Amino acid sequence: GDPTPYYIMFGPDQCGYSAKRTHLIFSYKGKNLLRKTDLPWEADKFSHLFRLVVQPDNTYEVFLDGESKGKGNLKDDWDFLPPKKINDPNEKKPDDWVDEKKIDDPEDKKPDDWVEEKKIVDKDAKKPDDWDDEEDGEWEPPMKDNPDYKGEWKARRIDNPAYKGEWVHPQIDNPEYKEDNELYKYDNIGFVGIDLWQVKGGTIFD
C-alpha cells in the first residue's frame, strides 16, 4: 500500500499458506505492471539467492540459486504496450450470420412410444388399514420409478447447411500503439529500496 514510486519490484512474496510467488513488477509511464503469469516458488527454511537479468534486447531471465526459473520478452509477458491491432469499431457481425455448426434434424421425430415419465403411480400400493382420512388427509398412492422410462428425447443433430463458420471481427491498426524498443531502460536509477515484511521468525536477510 506504500505509494512510494519505484522502477522494478523483484523478490519472493508469500501471503498466507497458498500464495507463493516471485514478484516481478515493472513501472512504465506511471503504471506498475505485473507479469501476466506468476513465477511460483516453494518456501522452505533455507536461504536462497534471487537474481534478475534484463537485457538491452528487452529479454529477461529470473534465477533462483543459479537455476533459471523464468525467461522471455518484456513485450510478451507484461502489458507495456497496447495491442498493435484492435477490433474495427465500425464493423459488427451481420444479423444474418449463422455460426451454429449443428442443428436438430427437422426430419427426426420423437417415436410415438417414447416414454418420458420418470415416475409413475405405484398401482400395487394399498391404502393402509389404519389410514384416517380426517386426520391424515386424502390418501394418495406413492410414486415409483417407471421401468419404461427412456429419458428425455432429443432430436438427432446434423450439420447446419447455413453454417458460415465462426465470425472473426475485422482488425485495424491501433492508433494508440507506439513502438518502444527501450522498455528495459531506466535512466535515473539512484537507489535500491528494501521492503521486508515478516510475520514469522527464522528469516536471514543479507
Query: For the segment 120-156, what is each residue's pLDDT rounded down to a tens digit?
Result: 999 999 999 899 888 889 999 999 999 999 999 999 9
- For residue 176, the one-letter residue type is E
pTM exceeds cut of 0.85: no
- What is the rounded radius of gyration, in angstroms, for the C-alpha atoms of the chain? 33
- For residue 113, the one-letter residue type is D
Query: For the segment 96-125, what is each residue's pLDDT rounded down to a tens digit?
Result: 999 999 999 999 999 999 999 999 999 999
Q: State phi, psi for 75 to the nearest 5 degrees.
A: -70, -30
Q: Yes or no: say if 169 and 94 are a contact pair by the CB < 8 Å rule.
A: no
pLDDT: is 41 or 17 the higher one?
41
Measured from the Cβ of residue 140, the count of other Cβ atoms closer than 10 Å reads 9
How many residues are recorded in the chain? 206
